[in-house]
Amino acid sequence: MTTALVYDPIFLEHITPRRHPERPERLQRAMAVLEALGWLQREGLVLLSPREASEDELALAHDRLYIRSVRAAAERAAREAAAGGRVSHFFAPETFVSGRSYEAAAKAAGAGLTAIDALFKGEIDNAYCLVRPPGHHAEYDEALGFCLFNNVAIAARYAIERYGLERVMIIDFDVHHGNGTQNIFYRDPRVLYFSTHQAPFYPGTGRSDELGEGEGLGTTINVPLPATTGFETYEPVFRQVMAPAADRFQPQLILVSAGFDAHWKDPLANMYLSTAGFAQLIMIIIELAKYLCDGRLIMIQEGGYDLQANAACVATSINLLLGDDAAVDSLGPPPEKAFRINTDVLIAELRRIHKLTGYRMRNAPRPDIARLRREVKGPEAESAASDPASSNGRRTDGSH
């Protein structure tokens, strides 16, 4: 197994104000943990430097005037910093630029393209793009929520345009809904967007009845979840909603918006996933990629604002992509919960909304009916089923 880690120190040059949660230390700590583990020299891990996405490539998901406005804002910030002024400047809600922000954002978008090129040339099996600024809130013509360019959306469109793919799936488990990603593909049947997120929460989008429009109707799947939701709900959602939806869609590539702010230690959210819980969810995705698209899987960093938790989740993701099954977890399980949501009702309603009721994955093993009878009714059920006298005259073919 060959895994690419796509990273560039330029990502540390996107400077945000002091105490801003989206800070360079997020990536510095992750790289430090990988170095401490000795994994940057690990067999099977390939370090790739991302190229800068061109304006034409950024325009796969963004308005050209908007792209140029980001570049101009960064150039103004560079001139002011050189004159002894402020380094970081407000650009959009929660979003700032500094002198090298355009270069960093263009390479963050280019990281996914670099990984896709390597993947389709057969040089790697999968990839993790350790990038900032993040991307999934960035709209077609607007920055939002720490994001300048929508890295995962640009990657999806690039895979479609450059390599002729017909179906790409984006799985977004960041704690915030990826409004930008959803809106960019809301009418596009070639991209299945699946999101789990805390609700009600920023940015206020991602209702379960947002399904797509026009030709894209049915290719948006949102799973809004209440605060303190943990693995006991995420796991069945992934297995019983995400997996069959993916099976029905049959993606040729899976992209992941890998935000780790649903971790119980994250300061910006209130969800109860642990590093080990994230590991189990990522393993589901890895197995799904193997089953559906020859393992073609690229993870792209989004949120995650507790430095220790985010670094552990990044290291865990890379370990899993390399074929191991262990989590790098020193933080342990989340606190005890005061209540649990009714997961069975949630799953049933999501499957109803997305027309998955009764859907069975194509190559799933058929159930062992005799074993199920024994488990439900006891050992006598099997012998009773084989005894004609116990059938009260009713034949198994339905006649009387």
State the catalytic residues.
Answer: 137
Alpha-carbon distance of 128 to 46, in angstroms, equals 10
CA distance 257 to 151: 9
Spacing of C-alpha 151 from chain mean position: 12
What is the rounded CA–CA span in Å between residue 291 and residue 296?
A: 10
Q: How far is CA 132 from the centre of its chain?
A: 15
Question: Rounded to the nearest 10 degrees, how much is the dihedral formed by the CA atoms of 264, 108, 207, 333?
Answer: -10
* Cα separations in angstroms, 136 against 174, 175, 185, 195, 244: 9, 11, 12, 11, 24
Q: Which residue intervals of 63-168 are DSSP H helices? A: 64-82, 101-120, 151-163
Encoded tokens for 303: 């949120």
Q: Tell me the C-alpha distance between 172 and 256, whole Å.
A: 6
CA 29, CA 312: separation in Å to the nearest integer?
9
Residue type, 224: P
> Strand 95-97 to strand 89-92: parallel, antiparallel, or no bridges (unpaired)?
antiparallel
Q: Which residue, among 221, 231, 243, 354, has the nearest Cα to 289 in the 3D structure?
A: 243
Cis amide leading into 133 (omega within 30) = yes
- In the sheet that holds 220-225, the strands lie side by side as 45-48, 3-6, 126-129, 297-301, 253-258, 168-172, 191-198, 220-225
